[in-house]
Amino acid sequence: MPSSHSYTLSPIGIIHSCYKEKFGIPRQPGLVTEATARLELIAPYNRLDTLDGLSDFSHIWIQFIFHANQREDWKAKVRPPRLGGQKKMGVFATRATHRPNPIGLSVVKMGRIYKEDARVFIDLHGADLLDGTPVLDIKPYLPYADNISEAKGGFAHTKSSTHKVQFSATAKLQCERYETENKKSIISLIEQVIAQDPRPSYLSDQIDREHGIRLWDINVKWCARSDHFEILEIEHTTEIEI
Ligand code: SAH
């Protein structure tokens, strides 16, 4: 039964991110340090004075809506990818995207805070957020309160290990050309994203099967080999940066 207390929340911002689809986004922030995004404040919050003092902090907490969830339902027990899809945990013991209130929480490194015409932006590094994600709130990360050195991390105490990534000769040339033409680095982003092994657990024993992941305006084609991942080629998409 839904609670009789309900609250209306509306976004204060929106994310512009290199991640153009859910597949490939790392499972937490900070894992793919090369991922760049920016948070744009939306009216009436698009004023620099709402951020006065924030540039003295290095990291922020971002609360956001999992707006791209395909279903609205949630289950009391879910299968965290971390446990290979083999074991169920209580939804509130996980960071699952399908939860009674589809609200996400990420701690993210900040870059520049700036205004472009009437638009106000915060540059972000290492975010785990899909392009277009609505942001509910921003709060500064407080090291004295938020950094708990003796904290226990349950079934996800440490980072998953990463995998070796190799570029085919074709992919290497295509990426180098992309970097020169667009003055934008892409090779290390691709490497870090694929090194996380983004495959769902039910596909994790499949070798040589082709996958595609969209980053910025490219589609990265890659597959798992027996002891590494191979980037096969990249293709331009018509994605327009919003
Ligand atoms: N750090 C957050 C997110 C963890 S889940 C938290 O703990 O709440 C991470 C997954 O969220 C990613 O793999 C990505 O696929 C998914 N995701 C990111 N932005 C999303 C969005 N706007 N809608 C739905 N899913 C999203």
Q: Read off the CATH number of the domain in which 229 is found.
A: 3.30.2310
Tell whether ligand 1 has an atom less than 6 A from the beta carbon of residue 17.
no
| Residues of the chain predicted below pLDDT 50 | none
Among the candidates 134, 154, 174, a domain finishes at 154
Instruction: Name which residue sits closest to atom 25 of ligand 1, judged by CA.
Output: 66
Please give the Cα distance from 117 to 139 (Å, whole number): 25
Instruction: Name which residue sits closest to atom 8 of ligand 1, judged by CA.
Output: 104
Query: Which residue, 47, 54, 57, 55, is CA-closest to 115?
Result: 47
CB 196 within 8 A of CB 203: no
Tell whether ligand 1 has an atom less than 6 A from the beta carbon of residue 198.
no
Per-residue confidence (pLDDT) for residue 85, from 0 to 100: 86
Among the candidates 108, 127, 154, a domain finishes at 154
Tell whether ligand 1 has an atom less than 6 A from the beta carbon of residue 94.
no
Please give the Cα distance from 158 to 17 (Å, whole number): 26
Per-residue confidence (pLDDT) for residue 209, from 0 to 100: 96
Q: Read off the CATH number of the domain in which 115 is found.
A: 2.40.30.70
Say whether both 210 and 105 belong to one domain: no
Q: Is residue 110 part of a domain?
A: yes
Per-residue confidence (pLDDT) for residue 1, from 0 to 100: 52
Tell whether ligand 1 has an atom less than 6 A from the beta carbon of residue 105.
yes
Tell whether ligand 1 has an atom less than 6 A from the beta carbon of residue 106.
yes
Per-residue confidence (pLDDT) for residue 2, from 0 to 100: 58
Say whether both 67 and 125 belong to one domain: yes
* Sign for the pseudo-dihedral over CA of 83, 84, 89, 93: positive
Its domain, for residue 68, covers 13-154
**Predicted confidence (pLDDT) per residue in 178-227, tens digit:** 999 999 999 999 999 999 999 988 898 899 999 999 999 999 999 999 99
Say whether both 75 and 114 belong to one domain: yes
Say whether both 129 and 51 belong to one domain: yes
Please give the Cα distance from 127 to 109 (Å, whole number): 8
Ligand 1 centroid distance, CA of 128 (Å): 6
Per-residue confidence (pLDDT) for residue 157, from 0 to 100: 95
Say whether both 129 and 33 belong to one domain: yes
